[in-house]
A and B are shown apart, each in its own frame.
Chain A
Amino acid sequence: MDFGSINPVLLIASLMVASTPILLAALGELVVEKSGVLNLGVEGMMIVGAVTGFIVAVETGSPALGFLAASCGAVILAMIFGVLTQLLLSNQVATGLGLTLFGLGVSALMGQGYVGVRPPASPKLDIFGLNELPVVGPILFNQHGVVYLSLALVIGIWWYLRATRSGLILRAVGESHEAAHALGYSVVGTRFAAIAFGGACAGLGGGFLSLVVVPTWVDGMTAGQGWIALAIVVFASWRSARALIGAYLFGGLTVLQFNLQAAGIAIPVELLSMSPYLITILVLVIISSDKRRAAASAPASLGRSFHASG
């Protein structure tokens, strides 16, 4: 065993990279759920984002276009969910599951010719040359642009839901769609916008996974990260700052687990690999066990279809 090979600064820097896909997906889903929609298709949107981003980046040589395509691909998938649940009033749980199953199939189909291909490298940003600073340099000033974007989104979503008119409408729609409808707000329109945003975030997260974190294309490479993002939204009690904490805790575990595997610790590899899922379950149990608090923080209309009668 060799713990000396684990460098804490690099560990934190790589933790931020590893957490970003989940953080992005969780932030997107947070907004979707705040509007009263439960989209269980995060895993499917992430993997479709991962494959479209990968293909476009490889074909054009531009990671930026790849990230854009990753978002767009997932938005298209999210729109299927939107049409089914908002216009055709299908069951949101079933439709979300369908999105995941379909996404896994379609992504495997699209990514066939790309297994084992190397994507173009996405450069890290050097902010004012500060990346040379000890300790904080590699952590704060030498990350990928998408990492900074995800951090900006944490603040942006907090501000949007708390202080903007449209954010308040979105929350009203999520808490009581009848009341929001009676006030003249478009329930379906608001929810469509939220679903599209959720898709864009999940897709970007998927693209970041296949272009930066791994970086290669493997079938089913999201490996449950979309589901963990859903769990993190619950963990976060639908607040963006807590989603950041949740995602980084989870990312930290994943990175630590890989480092322990590499250091040759005497715990079976399988036990280490299953630890992130077990700990996610444990965290869910702790958060949900306080029934009153859990019920108070969840959007009241979550998962219910809205049909304006008359």
Chain B
Amino acid sequence: MRLEKRPTPSKVWSWATPVLAVLATMVAGGLLFGALGTDPVLAIRTIFWEPLFGEFAFYYRGQLLVKAGPLILIAIGLSLGFRAGIWNIGAEGQYIMGAICGAAVGLAFYPLEIRWLIFPLIVISGALGGFLWAMIPGILRTRFNTNEILVSLLLVYVAEQILAWMALGPLRNPEGAGFPGSRNLAQYSATSNQELIAGWGLHWGVVAALIAVIFAYILLSRHILGLNIRLAGEAPRAARFAGVNPERLVLLCLGISGALAGLAGLFEVTGPSAQIGIDFNVGYGFTAIIVAFLGRLHPIGVLMAGLLMALTYIGGEAAQASLGLPAAAIQAFQGMLLFFLLAFDVLTNFRVKFGALGAA
């Protein structure tokens, strides 16, 4: 058996591999859960079926969009950069900084009730916070040739420390009886990011995610910038000859992904999470990396992958509650999904040939 490089990646396989990867992960995940002493079929059913069609589906269905919103929003931004070979893996940090900046601006107005002014203002501040945080690896890369992978990742740990400082210090709720954490932004009507339709989980962050999907789709298929991004990733030499400015592209890709991650953080802190606290970030920035790859770095793919990954989150919670499956099992499950995807991807780029060399 040997591999033969395809002249161009296979279209069919590039959409079939995510499906195969999900199925393989279900089997392998089932084995993992079995090893942990849970009935594998029941576990997989609890994760993938119960949240959508089971007894408590009315609760879980709303959660689906709440979890998918930030994942899609972040993953859309990341996928643009990944396509161009620009690796922003510090979205978690940009998510945190977006939330802090937005929350700080919102709290500065407390207790004014001018929602038409304050809400747009904090949305902009959130995006700006993530944007500026992503500009650090961007500018260091373009000015000093520093590896953006390492810098963006290391800045996540810095952002986490800033988050702790903010939760315990400057942004702490003055009426919070000394507990860490800011005022409740979801209950402050000027900043509150509530569900737009009761029970759907559809808040402004989800709307922003859908808009981002549409914009990314148009950008990649119709706009010169999208063409440049694709060109830089697939044929860097050709991109240089075509006059694509690589430095501008680095700043743009990092800036867009940072701003989107910042937005995701802002919508989270004013809605589902409701306050700046020490444990505000739950790893969406990292899971979004898996979402971007699972969605083939394609906007529509990212949308579907984000929904699926959100399902594993809430299914994981359901399995935790009803089967006592540990929370970490889902994290391992998501990691496995990325492995299987990367493994099956060989079929996209290569043909598998059997028999001796030259027989074909």
Q: Contacting B342 at CB < 8 Å: which of A88, A112, A230, A231? A: A88
B333 part of interface (Cβ distance < 8 Å) = yes
Known: A40-B149, A307-B3. A288 touches B144 (CB 8 A): yes
CB distance from A237 to the nearest CB of B (A): 13
Known: A101-B289, A307-B3. A90 touches B342 (CB 8 A): yes
Contact B331 A108 (CB under 8 A): yes
A11 part of interface (Cβ distance < 8 Å) = no
Contact B339 A98 (CB under 8 A): yes
- Tell me the complex Cα distance, A245–B74, Å: 38
Contact B338 A94 (CB under 8 A): yes
Among the listed stretches B162-170, B221-229, B256-264, which one makes contact with chain A, having 4 or more residues with CB under 8 Å of it? B162-170
- Tell me the complex Cα distance, A156–B143, Å: 36
Query: A interface, how many residues as a size bin?
Result: 35 or more
CB distance from A280 to the nearest CB of B (A): 6
CB distance from A25 to the nearest CB of B (A): 14
Contact B89 A285 (CB under 8 A): no
Residues of A within 8 A of B144 (CB): 285, 288-289
B346 part of interface (Cβ distance < 8 Å) = yes
Residues of A within 8 A of B156 (CB): 224
Q: Contacting A284 at CB < 8 Å: which of B87, B147, B329? A: B147
B304-340 interface with A by 8 A CB criterion: 326-336, 338-339
Contact A102 B149 (CB under 8 A): no
Residues of B within 8 A of A101 (CB): 286-287, 289-290, 331, 334-335, 338
Known: A105-B335, A270-B161. A91 touches B342 (CB 8 A): yes
Among the listed stretches A137-145, A172-180, A204-212, A271-279, which one makes contact with chain B, having 4 or more residues with CB under 8 Å of it? A271-279
B138-157 interface with A by 8 A CB criterion: 140, 143-147, 149-151, 153-157
Residues of B within 8 A of A278 (CB): 158
Residues of B within 8 A of A234 (CB): 147, 150
CB distance from A98 to the nearest CB of B (A): 4
Query: B interface, how many residues as a size bin?
Result: 35 or more
Q: Contacting A281 at CB < 8 Å: which of B89, B151, B339, B342? A: B151
Known: A273-B161, A281-B140, A285-B144. A94 touches B342 (CB 8 A): yes
B357 part of interface (Cβ distance < 8 Å) = yes
Known: A112-B326, A277-B158. A105 touches B333 (CB 8 A): yes
- Tell me the complex Cα distance, A94–B291, Å: 12
Known: A277-B155, A307-B5. A284 touches B146 (CB 8 A): yes
Q: Contacting B335 at CB < 8 Å: which of A106, A230, A291? A: A106
Known: A89-B3, A285-B144. A84 touches B332 (CB 8 A): no
Contact A270 B145 (CB under 8 A): no
CB distance from B312 to the nearest CB of A (A): 12
B268 part of interface (Cβ distance < 8 Å) = no
Contact B145 A109 (CB under 8 A): no
CB distance from A111 to the nearest CB of B (A): 8
- Tell me the complex Cα distance, A97–B327, Å: 20
B50 part of interface (Cβ distance < 8 Å) = no
A5 part of interface (Cβ distance < 8 Å) = no
B10 part of interface (Cβ distance < 8 Å) = no
A217 part of interface (Cβ distance < 8 Å) = no
A197 part of interface (Cβ distance < 8 Å) = no
A62-96 interface with B by 8 A CB criterion: 80, 83-84, 88-91, 93-95
23 A–B contacts, CB within 8 A, in A order: A40-B149, A88-B345, A89-B350, A94-B342, A97-B338, A98-B290, A106-B332, A108-B326, A108-B327, A109-B328, A109-B332, A224-B153, A228-B154, A270-B164, A270-B165, A274-B158, A274-B161, A277-B155, A277-B157, A284-B147, A288-B145, A291-B145, A309-B5
- CB-CB nearest 7 A-B residue pairs: A102-B335, A105-B331, A108-B328, A105-B332, A270-B165, A90-B342, A274-B161
